[in-house]
Structure 1
Amino acid sequence: MSESGTARRRGLAVMVAVELLLIGLGLGVARGLDVHDHPARRPVANLFGPDFVDIDAVRPGPTSAATAAPGAATGTYTWDCGRNEDGHRNTANVVTAPGYPGQAHHVHDYVGNVSTDVDSTPRSLAAAGTTCRNGDRSTYFWPVLRTVADGAGPTGHSGHDGVIQVPTEVTLTYSGSPRGNVVAMPARLAATVGDAVAATNGGARAAATWTCASTPDRRATAYPVCPAGDRVLRVFDFPSCWDGRRVDSPDHRAHLVFPDPDGGCPRNTFPVPRLRLTLAYDLPPGVRFRIDAFDGQHNSPLTDHAFFVNLMPEPLMAQVVACLNSGRTCRDG
């Protein structure tokens, strides 16, 4: 073979090798953009780290609610408990570890009952004041959200510091059941949504809480990258099917479970008012953020969670049930 023919073959082999390398790199980048089973994210999200997802890349959820049966509880009741402007925060958890201080780097925000702390008791909570304008003494709490300092790494793994962000708005809305009437929640009923250790236990109980104000139908288990000027939202939909006997259970879940896909409650459970807690944040453009989390959870958005303990006065609970069962839209504050 001539030298020119050999040179042409060598040149072709180099071109093929380069092309295969570029294809491999492209596939690697594409794989790197997939996170938490969401569609491939656009490159902008990757600038914030692997725990973030471009909200436009998240598939919308179901667009319609379950069809309501005749006479079902189709009402809603919304009221104002503030947004923790007073800075009621601590590391306690009166649901999972009453009487014990929590880890110093896992701080909760509170609205509602103003006394919730490590030494709280049912009696002390029932006698305390509240930030809710309608007199609801229930306690509602969730991990604080912090902005991440420059140089802290893509997800803030260098520590547990950062500026705590006060929500711009906190909305509490109770809704009914599409399958029938709701019954009153008992005093001290505890409720849990999400899982604080989801990053290390498989994530089966993780809740898709993250979205943006302009895209409420797109819920993610990753921190959202929202359009400029949009609000970051955390939306907690609590379970609402009560076993009729207990106000808590060993795993803090078995006594109050989620409805079936059609909105009905599993056998031997009864529908109670269902809480949706929505937190809205105005964050500076391009800032990274994270929630407080336990050691070993890497501040993962999968670990987002919230709790409430029902301490509504009986007349208020009766008012809520009547509103929901009559199909009205009610609002206090």
Structure 2
Amino acid sequence: MPNVRGPVAAAGVAAAALLVVAAAMVTSADAATAVTVQAEAYAAQSGVQLETTVDAGGGQDVAYLADGDWMRYDGVDLGPAGALTVGFRVASAGTGGTGTVELRTGSLTGPVLAQVTVAPTGGWQAWTTLTATAAAGHPIGAQTVYAVMRNSTGPRDFVNINWFSFTQGATSSPTATASSTGWVNVDAAKWNAQLADFRAMPMDPAPANAVRVSEFNASCTYSHSFKDDPIVFPGLPGASHMHTFMGNHSTNAATTTDTLLANAGTSCAPAPDLSAYWVPTLYEHGVAVEPKAVVVYYGSRLSDPTGTVPFPQGFRMIAGNAKLQQATPAGSVNQFYCAGPGGETGRSADGNWPLCAPGATLMFQLVFPDCWDGTHLDSPDHKSHVAYTYNGACGGAYPVAIPSISFLLAYPTSGTADGFTLSSGMASSFHGDAFLAWDNAAQGHRVKNCIVQKAKCNTAGTF
């Protein structure tokens, strides 16, 4: 049994804005409203490890917790004054004895909001919901809540936790649903139909002189800019830093799969790619510098690409970390570079940005995950449903091979010693979002002909 005691993490699995999701879930005759907090969506922790759960909704749970381990959750909405039922979704193999999970407000030693005693449930993935009534006069509104593990038998693993819930006036156990937790389930019927059509497609044989590289692309130009992010802040216009959008011209905070497929036009070729792609805006001396060209490559980094399948409609994911603010001197990973005659001629005064020769171009390449859990179109942190392959294969919790997307951006500037800034901060914070909406047939033929067959295709999807 795993027994890894980890260090305190300064940042959790999800951004603070994603920690708490309110959902109108009918849990009793009172039709009470519950707030569900995923256990893995902590802002800080000590002694925590994560694992994939088989519980309803899938995703991850916080695993193998022992005495003294804790997680911190920011902005938990405890609602108004009055009765509050707290749910704890737990599992225990019983090997560590019986322990207690405490929820405290304000600090690790703050007032106890609610607590439950966890007895063996029959296994580390044998899930049950325990409930407790919050203390009378509990804090109201948005609060910082700590989950603290107590086990009198010593530092032995005694509990896994999938989620917590907070229900005003309810007397029965709330049930988590995918839509209320940040996990977005794929529509099984539509996905199975898409897969069936893909598998029935004939493969166009590549010519003898084809370059044997799994690849096709979408060739894009700049479309528009908004302080919107329909993946991280859906329905909240202006809630984000400034983003540079490529692809679907309709993309804004209200974007959904249906609005993308409604075909408002795109700044990408081919026309059947109605996806939305975006990155933080680059600034030089306070003036936005938009990319002159963006190529979105769809390829494969697998040893055997023949099992690769297309993206389901509405698939979304993020690569990079908008919160990563650290120096990126020459030789660092995840950095801008110069391509073309003369290349890089120097660095900015702070060392974080390249200076390009007059004939060279400022570039950035961003690579997305290429293995999928096969169940979710999105996850609370927009990353947990996907993973990068590091050994040339997909497996385990991420068994489905999807095309390896990468953005290659070219900016029409050489830079100065003053450097640049991103709307998200330092160069290290560069990141990208993909909200996919291809015509199924157009994407399917490209995946089969170009990726599965391992033949380099052009933007039109031909050899």
Tell which deviates more after alignment, 167-176 or 207-216.
207-216
**1:308, CA displacement in angstroms?**
0.3
Alpha-carbon separation, structure 2, partners of 1:207 and 1:183: 29
**1:318, CA displacement in angstroms?**
0.5
Alpha-carbon separation, structure 1, partners of 2:299 and 2:423: 29
Superposition pairs for residues 46-125 of structure 1, below 5 Å? 74-81=213-220, 83-84=221-222, 86=223, 88-103=224-239, 106-125=241-260
**1:315, CA displacement in angstroms?**
0.5
Give CA deviations for 1:245-289 in whole Å, capped at 9, x if unaligned: 0000111101011111x3222423221111111111121552621
Give CA deviations for 1:189-217 in whole Å, capped at 9, x if unaligned: 111111111128xxxxx96142221579x
Alpha-carbon separation, structure 1, partners of 2:312 and 2:376: 9
Match of 1:264 in 2: 393
Alpha-carbon separation, structure 2, partners of 1:306 and 1:222: 19
Q: Indicate the structure with greater strand content.
A: 2
Q: Which amino acid aligns with 2:276?
A: T
RMSD (CA atoms): 2.4
In structure 1, runs of 5+ residues without a counterpart are 1-72, 149-161, 201-205, 294-298
Match of 2:275 in 1: 138
Q: Secondary structure at the match of 1:239?
A: coil
**Change over 3 Å in CA distance of 1:225–1:263 after alignment to 2:** farther
Q: Is 1:167 aligned with 2:291?
A: yes
Alpha-carbon separation, structure 2, partners of 1:184 and 1:284: 37
**1:222, CA displacement in angstroms?**
3.6
Alpha-carbon separation, structure 2, partners of 1:315 and 1:230: 38
Q: Which amino acid aligns with 1:117?
A: N
Number of residue pairs the alignment of both structures matches: 229
**1:131, CA displacement in angstroms?**
2.0
Alpha-carbon separation, structure 2, partners of 1:207 and 1:311: 30
Q: Is 1:178 aligned with 2:302?
A: yes
Q: Indicate the structure with greater helix content.
A: 1
Q: Is 1:325 aligned with 2:452?
A: yes
Alpha-carbon separation, structure 1, partners of 2:317 and 2:216: 18
Match of 2:319 in 1: 193
Q: Is the 8 A contact 1:77 1:330 kept in 2?
A: yes
**Change over 3 Å in CA distance of 1:285–1:250 after alignment to 2:** closer
Q: Which structure is higher in RCO with an 8 Å CA cutoff and minimum separation 6?
A: 1
Q: Is the 8 A contact 1:207 1:305 kept in 2?
A: no
Q: Is the 8 A contact 1:74 1:177 kept in 2?
A: no
Q: Is the 8 A contact 1:207 1:304 kept in 2?
A: no
Q: Is the 8 A contact 2:215 2:457 kept in 1?
A: yes
- TM-score of the superposed pair, with normalisation by structure 1: 0.64
- TM-score of the superposed pair, with normalisation by structure 2: 0.46
**1:172, CA displacement in angstroms?**
1.4
In structure 2, runs of 5+ residues without a counterpart are 1-211, 327-331, 345-350
**Change over 3 Å in CA distance of 1:103–1:97 after alignment to 2:** closer
